[in-house]
Amino acid sequence: MDLNRGNVGTSDMRHVKMTVGATEIGMAKTWAYPEGQSQGMFWIPTYNLRVEGTDPAGNSVAKDFEVLRFGLHCPTRTSTPTVVGLADAQTHVIKAWLPHYSVHSARSLEIGAWQVYQNFLIHDGPDDTSNEVYASIGCIEICGAPRGFDTFNDYLIALSGPKSTQRADQLAEIGKARNLSITYLKAKRPTVAPAR
């Protein structure tokens, strides 16, 4: 377990716990990032992300989101795509809110990302997993319509209780507070199938 050796929970904002499940709950179309578009589309499973905390009245609340947990990596056009992502059980305190991050594999109006550690992020994913195609190399991508990642961030704001009044400031405040954590349950790397 990695709580990242820093100060945890340095503000009076409420703690929010996220847990990424190990059970496949759906399927999404994807391609092998970044050089594997010529190899076609694949199906990759989606997983549940449970977000738990307390509301302003002190009641325990939780909400589930569908996410991409694993992805396909293809570093060159002739590489064989391989499944990548965090499969071992682990917990991380979210390092920061990255307000200018933009999804690289698809067009998205939902800007920003949460830094889990290094290049592992939580960011926007497909609103429609059957028709909207995103790629991933191990980030958690929030699915669901309309604007699933914005809905996810609104929920984090509601549970965290930042003091700021502007949304951009609220997200930045949450990122600095180190009161968000994410636990990955141990999962088997999935087998992916071509999407015909």
Q: What is the mean pLDDT of the chain?
A: 92
pLDDT in tens, 18-74: 999 999 999 999 999 999 999 999 999 999 999 999 999 999 999 999 999 999 999
Closest-CA residue to 24 (of 51, 46, 49, 50):
46
Beta bridge partners of 122: 114, 140
State phi, psi for 159 to the nearest 5 degrees.
-80, -30
Q: Domain spans of the chain?
A: 16-187
pLDDT in tens, 158-185: 999 999 999 999 999 999 999 999 999 9
State phi, psi for 153 to the nearest 5 degrees.
-65, -35
* pLDDT score for 11: 64
Closest-CA residue to 47 (of 74, 19, 72, 16):
19
pTM of the model: 0.92
* pLDDT score for 7: 45
pLDDT in tens, 129-139: 988 999 999 99
